Structure formats: structure tokens, C-alpha cells
């Protein structure tokens, strides 16, 4: 039963993180591999602030989200000024740079050993330290995130983002600033990823740099692609489906040294297969 | 003197990065595909040679065969992945994602077959270290530098002075017109992918001799290479190569002042600077 609860909590956290990817890749159409880096920044921020008792969970989450928003805005601004293509290089750079920071900035992140003993979240004075309690909290968070996503997409701002992917030039000639729209979308995506990271840190209670490497960005991308880009349903289906793969794999007898590369291989193969055969994913729209 | 050693290191390794940059730029400027999986070709080249050496082939034969295998691998990717995607009118985003998926497949397949641990080439032929005064240089580094300069010179010559080079440039410039004038862009793409993949294999193989083989090391060098390609100006072979050497020299010289673990930051910051002040690159060829 705990096993099922853990799966659900993790899936819900990744739904929130996946929405971050969906905003950038699916809706605005910017390819990015730096989701895991921002996710990691959120996780380390919340982890670092709560482990020493400096802050409660919710305030730490807010700080994490703010940092991630600023980070995303700062790095997308120069690259998006020029062309979406160059942002690919920037996002690779962010991801690799962030991985280097996580491993080397030992004072803050604990280095390769990571951060231990991150306390369970405390919401409005109630400590949440049972798995089912955690599940209630993450379901609540996911519901809020879904509501935000849905509202944003239905708002004029959301329509502007969708228009960006269709025809940037038309948006510009309509008098809307393309750059501000893209950069603010990146900021929004940063908020989602940062919050998801914070929950991840509180749930797992121990984080290390390996959880935020390039392959996790690929995983997030796979979730969005398989579930379906540009839609809410896709953001929810993707993580639940993809996170069941490791569980299925654990039923098959594979030596543990092969397990991680096998997972990475499967995610990559899924990406290729879906791009070739069904780019809109299960419940999404064509990207 | 340390600075001089770092400078030499920078130039030598930079020439290897330059090959990666030039080959990546070839693919991008001609086929418009941001071939992220190029990092996979870089990585797999060393493993090709490693396997051939284990089968008992002499080094020279293994290296040449490895380079040719990379070319074939590139052609395979073009025919099996990028062409079908083009036929489906896939958007650039879809192709990018597919390329990333391919990179993940290549890297993890290598990790599964050859283990994620660092391997050494089973050969001592290129094991020497050459000393000139206080400067030390490894044999693979020197060989790579010589081959890199020759390759880039050859590529520039072919591009400017041969009909083949003109054909590639024509198709890069206007693929639609290339179809109409019977230049057969699809065939040109195959040529370009083949040549570029073979070229990046040179760097992969000699870096494998020099530093050892590891499944996931292609991504970092590709980052430096793509920064060099963009900063050097898309379509300029010389530009990409020179910027790559320059970046590598800067990365190495920066070791005098900052810790080596942060060298990736140098590349990244330089890219941001370029994007802010000269986004069209140093030498635009188009």
C-alpha cells in the first residue's frame, strides 16, 4: 500500500514538473533540456532552507519558486532575443552548468554526497510525516497547479502563448511583444519546476546531484511527449504512465548496473518512436 | 611555465573541439537539423576502435575503419531517422526531440554493452609523451592537432574549389531550388551526414586514446562545439574552428585563476556574452 502511495506522490510531483516542460516545449514550442536543473534548484533551495530549520516548508517553497522564476528569466532573455534555436545551446549549458554547481558547491549543496535529513513538510502548523499525509498534500498541490495551468491557458495570456507557436510574426505585427511573452512563459515554467522540486526534496528527504542530471530532463521531456504536449490531460497521463515503467522493469530480473542505462534507453526509444509515429502523444496536440 | 603548457593544451584539444564544431556546423547549415545526437557519434567512434582493437586489428587499420564506421553511422541516422521525419513534415521541434532521444539511446546502449566505467584503449602504440623543454604533449594530442588542421583545410578547399562543395553550398542556401535544379538535396544530406560524422569520429577516437572511453562524455564537448559554431558564424568553417580553439585556450588558461570544475561556466558565460553583443557570430558566411 505504501508502495502505491509513494508511486502516486512521485507521479503527482512529476505532473507539476511536467507542466513546466509542457509550457515551454508544448505550448510555446521552445526546446529545452534544462528542466531537471531548475527542478534541482527548487529542490536544493527548499532542502537547504528547511534542513537547518531556517524556514518552514511553505515559505521555503515560495523562495524556491522565486529563485527559479528569476533564474529562468535571466538565462532565457539573451538567448531568446536572437532565435529559438540558440536557446537549445543555452538550455544545454544551463543543465550542464547546474549539474556542475550541484556537485561542486559543497557548502550549499553538500556536493556529491547531497543533502540529508530534509524534514517532512509542515503545512499550516500540521506536520505531514505519514506517506498518506504526504499524498494528500501533493494531491492538493497538484490540484492547485492544474487549476493555475488551466486558468492561464484560458486567459488572454494563454492565447497569446498559443499564438506564438502558430505565427510569431503575426503576433509581433499585432503589437504584442514576442520577447516578453516568451520570457514570462519561461518564468512561469520556472515556478512550476521549482515548486515540484521543493516537494521532491521534502518527500524523498535526501537529494543528491544525480537526481537532477540531463537524463531527468530527458525523462520529463518523454513524459510530456508521450502523455501529449500542449494539453492538460497529457501533462497528467505522461508522468503516471512513465513512472510505472521502472516499477514494471523491477519485476524483470535485470542486474542493477544495467537498470539505470536500460531506463534511459527506454525513454530515448520512446521519444524516437513517438516522434516518428505519433508526435501528438496519447492525449495531446501535434507539436 | 604553466601558462605556456596550458596554452599549448588549449590549442591542441581545441583543434579536436574544432573538428566537432565544424562537422556540427556542416550538418546544421546544410540540413537545418540541430543534430544533438552528434555527441553520440563522437562517443561511439572510440568504442568502435576499442572493439576492433580487441579483435586484433592493428591500430592504424582500426582507426581508419573506426572513422569510416562513423561515417556509415551518420548515414544510417540520416536515412533511418531524419529522412522519415522530413517525409512526415515534422517540425524542427519534433526533429530536435527525436535527435535527443537518439542521443539517449546511443549513450545508454553503450553503457549497457560496455559498462559505464572508463575504459582504456587496449593498445600502447599511441601511448607516448613528447617533451620539448618543460612542455609535455601526448602523442594522441599531437596527432589529433595535425589531422584536425589538415581536415579543416581540406574541407575549406572542397567547399570553395570543387563542384561538390558548390553543390553542398547551393543546397544549404536554397533546398527548394536545389530540388528543381536536380541537385538532389536528399542525396547531399546523406553525403554531408556521412562526412561530418566521419570527421567528428576523428576527435572521438583520439580523445579516446588520450583520455579513455566513457559513455556520457559527448554532451560536454558538444556544448563547447555548438557555442563555437554559433559564435563563429553558421556556415563558416574557419570561423567555427578558430572560435573552438579560442574557447579551448580560454578554458585552459582560466585554470590559472579558477578551479577546473567550473570551466564549463566559462563556455556558458562566453556564449551569453556573444548572444548579447554579436549574435550573428564572428564571421558570417551567408
Query: C-alpha grid cell for residue B164?
Result: 561538390
Query: In percent, how much of chain A has pLDDT > 70?
Result: 97
Higher pLDDT, A124 or B77: B77
Q: Rounded distance, CA B60 to CA B51, Å? A: 14
pLDDT at A104: 84
Closest to A200 (Cα-Cα) out of A235, A243, A160 = A243
Average model confidence (pLDDT) across chain A? 87
Q: Which residues of A touch B97 (CB under 8 A)?
A: 25, 31, 221, 225, 271, 275
Buried b (16+ CB within 10 A) or exposed e, A196-219: bbbbbbbbbbebbbebbbbbbbbb
The pLDDT tens digits of the residues spanning A99-116 come to 888 888 887 778 888 888
For residue A169, is pLDDT > 90? no
CA distance B106 to B43: 9
State the pairing for strand pair A122-123/B129-132.
Answer: unpaired
Q: How many helices (H) and strands (E) does chain A have?
A: 12, 2
Tens of pLDDT along A135-154?
888 899 999 999 999 998 88
Which residues of chain B carry a pLDDT beneath 50? Answer: 285-286
Q: What is the pLDDT of residue B96?
A: 92
Contact of A238 with B73, CB cutoff 8 Å: no
A77: left (phi over 0), alpha (psi -120 to 50) or beta: alpha
pLDDT for B16: 95
Mean pLDDT of A254-264: 85
d(CA A16, CA A58): 16
Strands B135-138 and A122-123: unpaired
Can you tell me the distance from the alpha carbon of B257 to that of B263, in angstroms, rounded to the nearest whole number? 11
Neighbours of B139 (CB within 10 A): 16
A23 with A192: CB under 8 angstroms?
Answer: yes
Whether B105 and A94 lie within 8 Å, measured CB to CB: no
Give the residue with greater pLDDT, A83 vs A255.
A255
A249 shares contact with chain B (CB less than 8 Å): no
Please indicate if any CB of chain B lies within 8 Å of the CB of A59. no
* Whether residue A53 has pLDDT greater than 50: yes
Q: Which residue has the higher pLDDT, B254 or A270?
A: A270
State the pLDDT confidence band at A4, using cuts at 50, 70 and 90: confident
Higher per-residue confidence, A69 vs A121: A69
Predicted local distance difference test score (pLDDT) of residue B286:
42
Residue of B nearest to A24 (CA): B93
Domain B2-116+133-277 sits in CATH 1.10.3470: yes
> In terms of DSSP bridges, do strands B135-138 and B129-132 run parallel, antiparallel, or are they unpaired?
antiparallel
Q: Which helix (H) or strand (E) holds A218?
A: helix A214-227
Residue B280: the pLDDT is 67
Please give the Cα distance from B94 to B87 (Å, whole number): 13
Domain ranges of chain A: 2-213
Which ipTM value was assigned to this complex?
Answer: 0.90
Whether the CB-CB separation of A79 and A93 falls below 8 Å is answered with no
pTM, rounded to two decimals: 0.91
Sort residue A114 into left (φ over 0), alpha (ψ -120 to 50) or beta: left
Q: Give residues with Cβ within 8 angstroms of A111, minimum separation 6.
A: A103, A104, A105, A209
- For chain B, the structural domain boundaries read 2-116+133-277
Q: What is the DSSP letter of A207?
A: B
CA distance B257 to B50: 36
Burial of B110 (0-12, 13-18, 19+ CB in 10 A): buried
Q: Decide if A88 and B96 are in contact by the 8 Å CB cutoff.
A: yes
By C-alpha distance, the chain B residue nearest A93 is B268
pLDDT band at A125 (very low <50, low <70, confident <90, very high): low
DSSP per-residue codes, B148-204: HHHHHHHHHHHHHHSHHHHHHHHHHH-HHHHHHTT--HHHHHHHHHHHHHHHHHHHH
C-alpha cell at B30: 546544410
**Residue among B283, B272, B286, B281 nearest B230 (CA):** B281
Chain B CB contacts of A79 under 8 Å are 272, 275
- Is A36 an 8 Å CB contact of chain B? no
Closest CA to B174 of B32, B279, B74, B281: B32
Grid cell digits, residue B21: 564544431
pLDDT at A3 over 90: no
Residue A62: alpha-carbon gap to chain centroid:
16
Rounded average pLDDT over A36-51: 91
Total residue count of chain A as it appears in this document:
287
Does A275 contact B at CB distance below 8 Å?
yes
pLDDT the model gives residue B161: 92
Question: How much is the pLDDT for B285?
Answer: 47
Probe site for chain B from A93, A218, A221, A230 (most B CB atoms < 10 A): A93
Amino acid at each position: 500500500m505504501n508502495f502505491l502511495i509513494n508511486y502516486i506522490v512521485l507521479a503527482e510531483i512529476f505532473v507539476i514538473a511536467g507542466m513546466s516542460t509542457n509550457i515551454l516545449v508544448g505550448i510555446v514550442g521552445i526546446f529545452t533540456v534544462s528542466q531537471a536543473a531548475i527542478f534541482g534548484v527548487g529542490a536544493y533551495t527548499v532542502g537547504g532552507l528547511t534542513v537547518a530549520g531556517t524556514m518552514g516548508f511553505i515559505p521555503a517553497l515560495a523562495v524556491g519558486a522565486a529563485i527559479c522564476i528569476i533564474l529562468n528569466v535571466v538565462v532565457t532573455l539573451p538567448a531568446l532575443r536572437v532565435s529559438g534555436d540558440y536557446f537549445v545551446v543555452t538550455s544545454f549549458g544551463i543543465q550542464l552548468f547546474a549539474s556542475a554547481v550541484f556537485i561542486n558547491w559543497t557548502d550549499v549543496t553538500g556536493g556529491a554526497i547531497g543533502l540529508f535529513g530534509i524534514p517532512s513538510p509542515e503545512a499550516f502548523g500540521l506536520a505531514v510525516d505519514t506517506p498518506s499525509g504526504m499524498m494528500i498534500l501533493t494531491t492538493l498541490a497538484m490540484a492547485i497547479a492544474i487549476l493555475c495551468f488551466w486558468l492561464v491557458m484560458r486567459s488572454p495570456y494563454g492565447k497569446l502563448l498559443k499564438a506564438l507557436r502558430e505565427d510569431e510574426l503575426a503576433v509581433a505585427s499585432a503589437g504584442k511583444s514576442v520577447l516578453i511573452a516568451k520570457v514570462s512563459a519561461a518564468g512561469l515554467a520556472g515556478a512550476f519546476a521549482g515548486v515540484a522540486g521543493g516537494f521532491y526534496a521534502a518527500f524523498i528527504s535526501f537529494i543528491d546531484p544525480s537526481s537532477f542530471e540531463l537524463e531527468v530532463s530527458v525523462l520529463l521531456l518523454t513524459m510530456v511527449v508521450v502523455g501529449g504536449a500542449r494539453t492538460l490531460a497529457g501533462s497528467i497521463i505522461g508522468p503516471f504512465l512513465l513512472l510505472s515503467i521502472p516499477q514494471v522493469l523491477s519485476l524483470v530480473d535485470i542486474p542493477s548496473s544495467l537498470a539505470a542505462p536500460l531506463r534511459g534507453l527506454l525513454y530515448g526509444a520512446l521519444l524516437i518512436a513517438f516522434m516518428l509515429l505519433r508526435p501528438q502523444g496519447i492525449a495531446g496536440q501535434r507539436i | 611555465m604553466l601558462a605556456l603548457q596550458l596554452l599549448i593544451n588549449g590549442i591542441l584539444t581545441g583543434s579536436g573541439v574544432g573538428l566537432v564544431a565544424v562537422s556540427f556546423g556542416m550538418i546544421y547549415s546544410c540540413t537545418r537539423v540541430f543534430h544533438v545526437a552528434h555527441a553520440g557519434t563522437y562517443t561511439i567512434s572510440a568504442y568502435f576502435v576499442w572493439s576492433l582493437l580487441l579483435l586484433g586489428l592493428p591500430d592504424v587499420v582500426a582507426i581508419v575503419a573506426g572513422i569510416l564506421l562513423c561515417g556509415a553511422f551518420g548515414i544510417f541516422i540520416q536515412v533511418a531517422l531524419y529522412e522519415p521525419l522530413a517525409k512526415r513534415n515534422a517540425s524542427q521541434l519534433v526533429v530536435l526531440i527525436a535527435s535527443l532521444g537518439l542521443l539517449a539511446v546511443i549513450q545508454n546502449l553503450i553503457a549497457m554493452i560496455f559498462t559505464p566505467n572508463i575504459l582504456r584503449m587496449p593498445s600502447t602504440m599511441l601511448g607516448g609523451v613528447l617533451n620539448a623543454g618543460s612542455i609535455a604533449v601526448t602523442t594522441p594530442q599531437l596527432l589529433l592537432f595535425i589531422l584536425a588542421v589538415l581536415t579543416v583545410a581540406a574541407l575549406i578547399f572542397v567547399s570553395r574549389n570543387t563542384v561538390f562543395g558548390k553543390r553542398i553550398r547551393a543546397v544549404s542556401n536554397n533546398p527548394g531550388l536545389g530540388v528543381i535544379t536536380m541537385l538532389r538535396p536528399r542525396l547531399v544530406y546523406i553525403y554531408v551526414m556521412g562526412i561530418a560524422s566521419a570527421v567528428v569520429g576523428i576527435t572521438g577516437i583520439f580523445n579516446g586514446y588520450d583520455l579513455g572511453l566513457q559513455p556520457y562524455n559527448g554532451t560536454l564537448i558538444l556544448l563547447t562545439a555548438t557555442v563555437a559554431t554559433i559564435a563563429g558564424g553558421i556556415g563558416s568553417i574557419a570561423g567555427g574552428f578558430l572560435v573552438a580553439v579560442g574557447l579551448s585556450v580560454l578554458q585552459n588558461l582560466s585554470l590559472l585563476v579558477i578551479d577546473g570544475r567550473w570551466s564549463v561556466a566559462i563556455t556558458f558565460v562566453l556564449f551569453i556574452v556573444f548572444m548579447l553583443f554579436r549574435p550573428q557570430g564572428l564571421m558570417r558566411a551567408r
